[in-house]
Structure 1
Amino acid sequence: MTAELVRGQNHPLSQARLEIRVSAGTPVVAAATLGDENGRAQSVEWVAHPGAPVLPGLEVSRQAAANHRLAVDLDAMPAAVHRVNVLLALPMGVGGPVSFGSAAVPFVAVTGLDGTEVATYTITSLDAESAVVALELYRRQGAWKVRAVGQGYAGGLAELLGDQGLPQAHQLATTINDAVVEGLARSVPAPPPRTPEGDRSRQTATSALGPDQSGSPYGTQGGATGPYPAGAPGTQGAGGPYAGTQGAGSPYSGSQGAAGCPDGTSPTDPSATQPASPAAPASGGPIDYSHPRRQNGAPPPPPPTAPPAQPGQPARPVAGDATGWSMEERLYNQVWGMFEDLARSTAAYRSAVDFADTRLERELDQVLSDPRSRIGGQGDAAREAAQAKHVQLVDQAREALERDLAQLTAEADVVEPALPVAYARWDNPAWHAYRVPMEMPMALRLGDLQLPESDPLRIPMLVRLPLERGLWIDSGRTAASDGSFVDSHELRHLAMESAVAHTARLLAVHPADEFTVHVIDPAGSGAQALAPLVRTGVLATPPTAGAAGVADVLARLTQRVDLVQMAVRGGAADSLPPGFDTSQQLLLVNDFPHGFDDRAVNQLRYLADEGPAVGVHLMMVADREDSSAYGPLLDPLWRGLLRLTPVPEDHLADPWVGHAWTYEPPLVPHGSQVLEQVLAQVAAARAKYR
């Protein structure tokens, strides 16, 4: 029976290994402090937060997210710990609500590892507070209980931590917020949370003048075994905080990432709607995104049914085994489900191994501290028993992980060949049947992601279109995934080749008249890599060189952003100049900051910040060290771009757990002509519109 707590009420805990699940409706930071008998945290080492997420018996999320799952093992808590305070705080400086009074009411649940709720608490009566102590787990006469606290702090995380007895509260709050900002900067953009009904939320795409009607729902689901309702119990696989305790189903199904859906728009049919024309009048009120021939709120058709499995065998995977209005959308949701499943399963494995290591260390300490164990063979026997138990726990964890990996690998084997060109690798046969599309897809593949435990399994890195963040192809000193370093000259060339491949894919997946590319190459150092774009004639103008050319291109694009913004805000989209190019714009910049003066640098920052909302996107090929003379002035620019590398490197984070994923760029096979063949078709289609 679940105990629904109110503020101040407590409830006994009969289990030692628990999860604390948080649903906030908006990205929040989840942290926890350990307290002594007086409830005071003795030092910053007693605080688990995104910058230091693991303590003995406790693990919190590494990201700010709308939903969290914190792993707790009360038996592994140090003897000096008598309280565990669960903290929630709104991240500062990343947008979103500044107080809980303007956000959805947070909901916290204490559950067993099987998802069974032990106690729940809805944190009401918050107003100007931006941080809150949600729950307190406390030890009383050898037993543990949970208490609903709900104590909010208008002074934010710093005030809360100070009230916990930490003299370094302000410094720690700054450290936590910096870790959150850094985590968001390197995170793969996540789908928004599901709607309360369990259906996919739908975020609308943004055209040159704001929202259009081409959005598609993009949430996550249990990729390997099909979709689950949000919050459905009993759907975890090895993705629980300790592996080996659940079945082989989809781990942590129903958990969402850091990006939130800005509204509650109803589902629409992406195949039956077109992007809004930039000449469409802007509206100050809500937009109805419902399909005119579909009743509002109607659920999408069910996913395809998997073939019957042999008795005792898992269900055979099916491509498109997810909800969605089209196969493209189903495959998108399925890939994101696989991504989340792998993140959760690996988190479970690592947490289980960490638990086994902690237990072994504690048991060995007990053996060494007991003088009686030194007599005869008692000590040796105790050590052997502890080590045997450690091996058993690790083997159980590995077995559960291997089971999930086998299921996900089988799913990847059927999903990869079924992907449309926007999601497909360059070696996919789908590119041989390429035709210039009539509408923009919902997402684009920017490469592949993998974890050390999952090799050789790769998860496609799909990012929504139009791009919400610019791209930064890092041409600086980069350590490859094998630990080797690439020559700096070769790395710059590889970075430009990677940028050209990304640009070609963007051109290929857009209608011929809806995507325009400008290139700034001040010193002409990227001429060799840019040759396919120049030779096929897909660029709006030849690559711009010299400081004067840089100033001209930036002036035209910043003027475009200003015009469109004024048209949107004034509701006068029809007053744009005749012949105004309404297509999405991409500015590819090579060798930054060469050829850039202070004015040009400020214009570039402006485009990076304001451009995506009005259809002007940025792709930079740059070494951050080259711009070190600007100091912290450019830090917001680098943080605002999604960093990609031309060689495999483990620098990207998932939006659920925060693992360091190895990113692999989407390379064109050596000797293949697929890129130039695709660009030639794009150029031929573009010529018809000129």
Structure 2
Amino acid sequence: MTAELVRGQNHPLPEVRLEIRVSAGTPVVAGATLGDEDGRVHGVEWVAHPGAPTLPGLEVSKQAAADHRLAVDLEALSPSVHRVTVLLALPPGTGGPVRFGAVATPFVAVTGLDGTEVASYTITGLDAESAVVALELYRRQGAWKVRAVGQGYAGGLAELLTDQGLPEARQLAGSIHEAVAQGLARSVAAPPPRLPDAGRPRQTASPTPGSDQTHGTTPQGVSGNASSAQGPQTTSPYGTSGYGASGARDAARPDHLSDQHGGPTPADPPTGTPPASPTAGGPVNYTHPGRQTTAPPPPPPTAHPAQPGQPAQPVAGDATGWSMDERLYNQVWGMFEDLARTTAAYRSAVDFAESRMEQELDKVLSDPRSRIGGQGDAAREAARAKHAELVDQARAALDRDLAQLRAEADVVEPALPTAYASWDNPVWHGYRVPMEIPMALRLGDLHLPESEDVRIPMLVRLPLERGLWIDSGPSGSHDLAADSDELRGVALDTAVAIAARLLAVYPPGDFGVHVIDPAGAGASALAPLVQAGVLAGPPAAGAAGVSDVLGRLTQRVDLVQMAVRGGAADSLPPGFDTAEQLLIVNDFPHGFDDRAVTQLRYLADEGPAVGVHLMMVADRQDAAAYGPLLDPLWRLLLRLTPTPDNHLADPWVGHAWTYEPSRVPPGSRVLQQVLTQVADARRSWNR
């Protein structure tokens, strides 16, 4: 499986004979430097470039080209070589672009000799730079790895080589450019222009997104423990790290989010074109290989084209899709990707700056000469100044991208349909009962600590492929210092709001809701559902009520499973209700015995496949007495919190996302109005 790297990530290399493939939208110079154990390049004879393309174990192209293949044999390298750094540069004086921000985002891939891709990296975040360190292959404890670097240099190749420690850097840069100029007649032409973002799909959440750092979902599904992972790659008109002249929308897919108890979340396939492996001389398709569908027609053109040197003005629905709802859905996940990737780039840049400063300070301390006079103080001050400069540059890039995301959110949020909209969106005041199921449902919002004011809707695909656990205890809240009764009330309010959304987005008669409230503790919060008459029956109370509802729903799952497996779906009993069903369980585990818990586990595991969904309102600590009996149930469900909490993790980039539920505004009657329309439509449908 290909590792799609983000800046700073590394990946082991399973082979020693490799190719490094480069694809860009314009001719670029490709070269490589060799470094010792400390990363030091000893001289020009340690640099492979168009004027001297071959070194032991390494061969690069002799000319500028839009596509390159660099050959590397790690076993043939000198034993003193511990690092191979791959560099790219724009050739000067050719009438072409002079900065990477004006060209398509470069793409590099490490492959085996058979073309099997090991790791890839889309170099985002470039603007005024005309040279960049793309990748480095390095030896660590006898094993070779590849790291995505993406360090750009506005001073071009000379500045890059100087930073590599070559005293004759400017002379070498000049000789490289001279060799390129002599070979330009043989230079490989740029490939056909890549389609603009409007012609390519944005990937939809991998997210959708949610799971906490032990369980999960993204904008459709977050996953297990937060860890570094490789995200899908797509391109965007907004540029670097999501925005700019030619950057890429290529970040963590929310459909792979997971919460703290470690269960997977439903994958959210996007719409788009099938992936294509990068090949020499052809365009690179950045679509994630796991997302294969037919290409929908392009969206309408942007209403406000970008001025030269300025990012494009965002427009609602500028992603691909067959309908406006699908385009908005894809655009939301494009925004999720952008926020994930630009934040990952910022964090990686800060880590790089800190690592560089530590190395320079260690070097100063290890040199006895630096302890004499003021040399050591000057070196330390220079290292700290460079660190501050790099961090400031990274923050400036992040702020630029966040500003564009805010602008996009400002136009997208008001355009969302009811299923995707927050409760305070005016679209709910014009609500009408739909005649078909939408693609997805909004469960809340996601944001990151670096961007508190940039909120991404958390969308999950419909029908639900996984039940929900609404945490009603202190473990599910970082913000409330309230007692347990208040937390339970807020959790049940959240569950009621989600249930109302589900009822509102399904056609009449296509969705039923059951409630178990053993002690009647949730009567106040459940009142909107009861008073509107949208429940399948009164909330079940007492041991008998719990047993009756669970028995009927487990029997329903058994019947449908047998009919489906036997290929005789028409053999269901006469009058069998084929609508999807949601069971809300309040105040768990009070009033539940071992048999009831086993039935709940069965519904959580088998129910979604046959249209029976479970929503638990419970406190993990209260339920701990069940021990291992409860763990499978806990892991099968997607955990949500009634108050903001950073429990959702995406394995693509490794962020811990803060989830915030979508609340009905205080004093608003929108919930009652929507439920009233749902009830009226259901009565009309039953006549």
TM-score using structure 2 length: 0.65
- Which one of the candidate residues 626, 629, 632 is aligned to 2:625? 629
Relative distance call for 1:224 and 1:430 in structure 2 (3 A) is farther
The one-letter amino acid of 1:249's match is G
Letter in structure 2 aligned against 1:627: A
1:369 maps onto 2:401 in alignment = no
Question: Hey, what does 1:310 align to over in structure 2?
Answer: 307
Query: 2:543 matched to 1:547?
Result: yes
The reply to whether residue 225 of structure 1 matches residue 237 of structure 2 is yes
2:241 is matched with which residue?
Answer: 238
> Corresponding residue for 1:270?
none
Change (3 A) 1:387 1:643: same
Choose the corresponding residue for 1:519, options 512, 515, 518.
515
Which residue of the partner structure matches residue 331 of structure 1? 328
CA distance in 1, matches of 2:348, 2:14: 31
Partner of 2:574: 578
Correspondence for 1:345: 342
Deviations 1:428-460 (A, max 9, x none): 110111011101111000000111111211000
* Residues 126-275 of structure 1 mapped to structure 2, 5 A cutoff: 137-139=137-139, 185-188=215-218, 190=220, 225=237, 237-238=240-241, 249-252=247-250, 258=256
The alignment status of 1:415 with 2:445, answered yes or no, reads no
Please tell me whether the aligned partners of residues 248 and 404 of structure 1 are also in contact (alpha carbons under 8 angstroms).
no
Q: After the TM superposition, which residues 289-688 of structure 1 pair with which residues of structure 2 at under 5 Å, given as runs? A: 299-306=295-302, 307-478=304-475, 480=477, 485-688=481-684
What is residue 64 of structure 1 aligned with on the other side? none
Distance 2:675 2:485 in 1: 27
Work out whether residues 220 and 458 of structure 2, in 8 Å CA contact, stay in contact via their aligned partners in 1. no
Q: What is the CA distance between 1:654 and its match in structure 2?
A: 2.9
Per the TM alignment, residue 119 of structure 1 is displaced from its structure 2 partner at its CA by 3.2
Q: Structure 1 CA distance, aligned partners of 2:324 and 2:21?
A: 46
Question: 1:188 aligns to what SS in structure 2?
Answer: coil
Q: 1:297 to 1:81 in 2, by over 3 A?
A: closer
The 1:118/1:582 distance shift into structure 2, 3 A limit, reads closer
Shift of 1:123: 8.0
The structural deviation recorded for 1:367 is: 1.4
The alpha-carbon deviation at position 608 of structure 1 amounts to 0.1
Provide the rounded CA distance (Å) in 1 between the counterparts of 2:596 and 2:509. Answer: 28
Three-state SS of the structure 1 residue aligned to 2:685 is: coil
Q: Is the 8 A contact 2:211 2:217 kept in 1?
A: no
- In the alignment, which residue of structure 2 is the partner of 1:108? none
Gap change, CA 1:181 and 1:667, over 3 Å in 2: closer
| CA apart distance, 1:401 | 0.7
Paired residues of 1:508 and 1:678 also in contact (CA < 8 A): yes
CA distance in 2, matches of 1:673, 1:335: 27
SS at match of 1:540: coil
Q: Which runs of 5+ in 2 are unaligned?
A: 1-12, 23-35, 38-78, 85-103, 117-134, 148-209, 223-230, 257-264, 274-291
Contact 1:223-1:335 at 8 Å conserved across structures? no
Q: Deviations over 1:531-577 (max 9, x none)?
A: 00011111010100001100000000000000000000101111100
**For the Cα contact (< 8 Å) 1:449–1:460, is it kept in 2?**
yes
- Pick closer, same or farther for the CA change 1:376–1:361 going to 2, 3 Å: same
Is the alpha carbon distance of 1:224 and 1:530 closer, same or farther for their aligned partners in structure 2, counting shifts above 3 Å?
Answer: farther
CA distance in 2, matches of 1:118, 1:309: 31
Instruction: Report if the CA contact (8 A) 1:507-1:682 is conserved.
Output: yes
CA distance in 1, matches of 2:590, 2:468: 18
Contact kept in structure 2, 1:186 and 1:643, CA below 8 Å: yes
Instruction: Please give the alpha-carbon distance, in whole angstroms, between the structure 2 residues aligned to 1:408 and 1:683.
Output: 38
Shift of 1:309: 2.0
Residue 311 of structure 1 deviates from its aligned partner by: 2.6
SS of 1:596's partner is coil
Contact 1:225 1:317 in 2 (8 A): no
What corresponds to 1:116 in structure 2?
A: 107
Distance 1:313 1:266, change over 3 A: closer
Aligned mates of 1:297, 1:181 — CA distance in 2: 26
String of CA shifts for 1:618-668, please: whole Å, max 9, x gaps: 011000111111112211211111111111111112352131111111100
Q: Residue 441 of structure 1 aligns to a residue in which SS?
A: coil
- Distance in 1 between the 2:620 and 2:267 partners? 32
Please state how far the C-alpha of 1:684 moved relative to its aligned partner.
0.6
Helix, strand or coil at the partner of 2:454:
coil
Contact 1:187 1:655 in 2 (8 A): no
Shift of the 260–580 alpha-carbon distance from structure 1 to 2, 3 Å rule, reads closer
Whether the 8 Å contact between 1:183 and 1:658 is mirrored in structure 2 is no
Percent of aligned pairs sharing the same letter: 70
Taking structure 1 as reference, are residues 256 and 346 closer, same or farther at Cα in structure 2, changes over 3 Å only? Answer: same
Give the aligned residue type for 2:241. A
- SS of corresponding position for 2:474: coil
Q: Is the 8 A contact 1:343 1:656 kept in 2?
A: no
User: Deviation digits for residues 20-68 of structure 1, max 9, x if unmatched?
Assistant: xxxxxxxxxxxxxxxx99xxxxxxxxxxxxxxxxxxxxxxxxxxxxxxx
C-alpha distance in 1, partners of 2:136/2:347? 26
* Residue type at the aligned position of 1:657: V
Equivalent position SS for 2:241: coil
Describe the SS at the equivalent of 2:460: strand
Which amino acid counterpart does residue 247 of structure 2 have in structure 1?
G
CA deviation after TM superposition for structure 1 residue 305, in Å:
1.2
Structure-2 change in CA distance of 1:606 and 1:14 (3 Å):
closer
Q: TM-score, normalised by structure 1?
A: 0.64
Distance 1:12 1:642, change over 3 A: closer
